[in-house]
Structure 1
Amino acid sequence: MTKEEKIAAGIVLSEIKHNGHRRAFFHDYSRPGLYMVTMVVAGRQRLFGRIVGHSRGKRGTADFPHLEYSRLGSQIIYEELSKISQFYPMVEVCRVALMPDHVHLLLAVREQLPQGKHLGSIVRGFKTGCTRAWWKLQDEAVMADGVSAMTVAEASPSGKRPVLFEDGYHDRILMGDGMLGNICRYMDENPFRARLREEHPNLMQRCLHLWIHDREYAAFGNLFLLKNPERLQVFFHRKDKKGRLTHLTPEYAEAKAQLLQRAEEGAVLVTPGISKGEQGVVDAALDDRLLILLQKEQITDYWKPSKERFYACATGKLLILSPKLMPGDSDYERFHSLNDLAHDICIATDTRLLRIG
C-alpha cells in the first residue's frame, strides 16, 4: 500500500524523529551514575589530531589505527581531563576516546553532586576549559607567525570568539556490566572503525535521502545490494496456522535452510528481522551472506550500527534502511508495515539516490 493509499484509508502516518542530544527526563543527573558523554567540534573541524595506521595492522602495534594528537588534542588529554576531578572530586573519568572531530567520555559520578550541579554542569565546565585552551593555542600561533596556524571557525554572530564545540552534548546512561563492556569496546575501537570507513567508502555509504518506489528512506551500508537482481523476503509470523511457535517447527527449519542456501548462491535477503523466525535467519546470514535490514530507528548524520553490523557493512554484505514514515505505533502495526516495505524492496525497479546528506 502506498503512502497516499494509507492516508486515504485513514491510517495515521507519524514521522520518526530522532533527537541528537538525548536526555532521560526520568533520570536525576545530580545523583550517582555512569555515563558516556559525546561532544562534537563545531563544524566537525578535525582539530584534535589525525588517525594513523591501517585496518590490517596488528592490534597493540603502531600500525593499528589510533589517533595521533594535535597540540590541542594533547592538551585535552594531559591537562583538561584532569580538571574534571579537580573541580568535582566525586567524578571519575574512567575512559576517554578522542577522535579528530569529537570526544567520548566515560564518567562515573560516585556521590551526589553539589547542590545545583548536575552532569550538564560538568560537561559545560570541560567544554569551556577546552575552548579556552584552543583560544590560547591560536593566540600563540598568531604571535609566533603573524597568522593563525590553525583552522579557525568563523566568528559567532555576536562578534565573540568562536566556541570549540557544538551546542549541547549526547549522553547515555549505562546500566549493567554487559552494557559497560560494550561501551568500552565501542570507545576503544573508534579509530579502527573510522579507518575502516575511509578504506572502504563505497561499502559504508550514509545516505539520508533514498527513494524506493514512492517512499523515502535513510540508508547505511552497501547501496549496490539494491541493484542485486535476486532479492528474497524473509517473513515469518510468530505463530503458524496451527498455533505453534514458528521458529520451533520443522517447516521453519526447512524454509530457513532454503533461504540461506539461496543467499549462499548470491541472493540478497530482505527483512526487518522482528519475529524470532526472522531473527534466526538474520543471525545465521549476518556473517557471510548478503542482507538488507529494515529498522524503525532513524539513521541520522551521527547514527552508527552495532559492532557486528558495522563489520558486515565493511565487507559489503549489509545495507540498513530506515523508512522516513511509519504507520501507527503498535508492535503489530510495525511488524506488518516493515514487512510490507521489505516486499516492496524485493520487487522494486526504481531507486533514486538524492545526494543531500
Structure 2
Amino acid sequence: MMTSAYRPRNPGHDYYGRGTYLITLVVSGRERVLSFFSDNKDGENLTNRKTLVLTHLGEVVANTWLRTPEAQAVHGNRVRVHAYVCMPDHFHGVIEVLEPMAWSLGDIIQAFKSVCTSHWQRQQGLAASVDRSISVDLKEEGMPAWLREKAQRYANEGALIRNLSKKQRQEYYALVGRSQQPLFDDNYDDTVCLDERHRKAMIAYVNDNPRRAILRRLLPEYMRRCLHVRIGNRSYGAFGNLFLLRWARKIQVQCHRKHPITGQPYEETVDYTNERRQWETAIMEGCTVIVTPGISAGERLMKNECLDKGFPLIHLQKEPIDFFWKPERQRFDACATGALLILAPWELDQMGDVAGVPSDSDYSRFHNMNTLAAEICSFDGEAKIMMR
C-alpha cells in the first residue's frame, strides 16, 4: 500500500470505506500560475462550460482523472468518478468509493497526483521528479552539505528524490527550480458527502466553477476579495461589494431566539412581524443596507429575504476568509449583483467572554458578532485595505 503525507480534513472519518468526496487540488505555487490547465476564450458567455478551453496539460489531468477507476481496479480498489473541472490553477473532482479498500482515499489521490506530475515533467523533457537522481544536481551552486553527502553516499545506486524527507524535498525543489517540483501542492481539500442532496450539490458546484470564474473576472468590484480590511478598530476578511460600507444608512437585524416575555419563538411573534415590516420599508426607501450575522431564526429569515430579492446586505460569518475561500452559490450570485458584502472578523475569539462563557464558544461568538454588526452600522468612515 502507498503512504501519504496528507492530513485528512475530517479526523475520525473512515477514508478506507464507502463514501463520496469533493476533491480540490491546487497547482504548486498557485499565486504565480495563470493558465496551467485551462483558459477562457469567451468571457461574455456565462453559461457555456465549453468556453473553458483545456491546455495540453489540462487534457492530461482530465484524462488521468477519468482513467482513475481503471487504474485503481488493478489494485483491487473500486471507485467511480463523477463531475470534474480543470480550472486555470486548480482542479475539482467528485469521486465515489464503492466498497471498502486496502488503500485510503489519500493513497488514491496521491497516485492521481503522481501520474499527473510525471506527465507534466515528461512534457518538459525531464525525468519524473520522484525518480530523478539528485546526484545530477551536485554541481549546482548553493547545494547544501546534507544533499551533497546523501547523493555521494548513494552514488552507485543513485539517490532519488523519493528517498528524501518532505522537508528535504521542499528545500531541494527551492534549489533546482519550479520544473522539478510536483505539479500539485502536497496537501489537498476533501469534503465528505453527507447524503444524496449533498452529492447533487457537490456536482452542481463543480459544474458551476467556470461561470463563477468568468463573473469574478467581469465584475471585479463586486467580487473583491480582501484579506485584511480595517473597519474602525477591527480587521476583517472580506468578499463582495465593499462600497456597501459607505451607504448612508445601515440597519442591524438582531433577534432573540425566544420572545423575552411570552417565550414564543421570536420569529413567530407580532413584534417580529412589525420589525420586519420596518426593515423592508427602510430598504424600499433606498440607501439602506441590512447588517446581520443571520444567527437566530429571525435573523436568518431576513438574511435569506435579502439574498432572494437582491436587497443590499452585509453578512458577518465566523468562518475566516482566506486567499482561496469562496462563498456558496446563493451568496456568490448575490455578490455578482453588487448586493452583498461578506465580512469575517479575524480576532473574533479574542473579543472576550460573554456572560462568563469562553470567547471561543459558539454562544460568545454569536453575541460578539452582533456586537460587530452594531459597530459596522455606526461606522461612517472609509474602510482601509491593508496589503498583507
Gaps of 5+ in 2: 1-5, 127-170, 352-358
Structure 1 counterpart of 2:62, from 66, 77, 80: 77
Could you tell which deviates more after superposition, 251-260 or 195-204?
A: 251-260
CA distance in 2, matches of 1:344, 1:330: 21
What are the within-5 Å matches in structure 2 for residues 65-104 of structure 1?
66-79=51-64, 81-88=66-73, 89-104=77-92
Which is bigger in relative contact order (C-alpha 8 A, separation at least 6)? 1
Task: Name the counterpart of 1:132.
Answer: 118
Secondary structure at 2:314 match in 1? strand
Task: Name the counterpart of 1:342.
Answer: 373
Cα deviation digits, residues 276-311 of structure 1 (max 9, x gap): 111111111113210000010111111111111000
The residue type equivalent to 1:40 in the other structure is V
The residue type equivalent to 1:99 in the other structure is M
Could you tell which deviates more after superposition, 307-316 or 70-79?
A: 70-79
Task: Name the counterpart of 1:51.
Answer: 40
CA distance in 1, matches of 2:216, 2:312: 19
Task: Name the counterpart of 2:211.
Answer: 192
CA distance in 1, matches of 2:375, 2:223: 23
C-alpha RMSD of the superposition: 2.1
- Please say if residues 221 and 318 of structure 1, whose CA atoms lie closer than 8 Å, have aligned partners that are also in contact: yes
Query: 1:250 Cα deviation (Å)?
Result: 1.5
- Please say if residues 37 and 58 of structure 2, whose CA atoms lie closer than 8 Å, have aligned partners that are also in contact: yes
Task: Compute the TM-score of the two structures, normalised by the length of structure 2.
Answer: 0.77
4+ residue stretches of structure 1 with deviation over 6 A? none
Secondary structure at 1:285 match in 2? helix
- Please say if residues 55 and 196 of structure 1, whose CA atoms lie closer than 8 Å, have aligned partners that are also in contact: no
The residue type equivalent to 2:42 in the other structure is G
Query: 1:159 Cα deviation (Å)?
Result: 3.1
Query: 1:84 Cα deviation (Å)?
Result: 4.7
What are the within-5 Å matches in structure 2 for residues 264-283 of structure 1?
264=284, 265-283=286-304
Task: Name the counterpart of 1:317.
Answer: 339
Structure 2 counterpart of 1:28, from 7, 10, 14: 14
CA distance in 1, matches of 2:299, 2:64: 50
Query: 1:344 Cα deviation (Å)?
Result: 0.2
Task: Name the counterpart of 1:16.
Answer: none
Secondary structure at 2:176 match in 1? coil
CA distance in 1, matches of 2:273, 2:109: 51
- Please say if residues 68 and 81 of structure 2, whose CA atoms lie closer than 8 Å, have aligned partners that are also in contact: no
How many residues get paired?
A: 319
Q: Per the alignment, do residues 269 and 35 of structure 1 end up closer, same or farther by CA in structure 2, a change over 3 Å counting?
A: same
- Please say if residues 210 and 219 of structure 1, whose CA atoms lie closer than 8 Å, have aligned partners that are also in contact: yes
Q: Per the alignment, do residues 291 and 22 of structure 1 end up closer, same or farther by CA in structure 2, a change over 3 Å counting?
A: farther
Q: Which has the larger radius of gyration?
A: 2
Task: Name the counterpart of 2:363.
Answer: 332
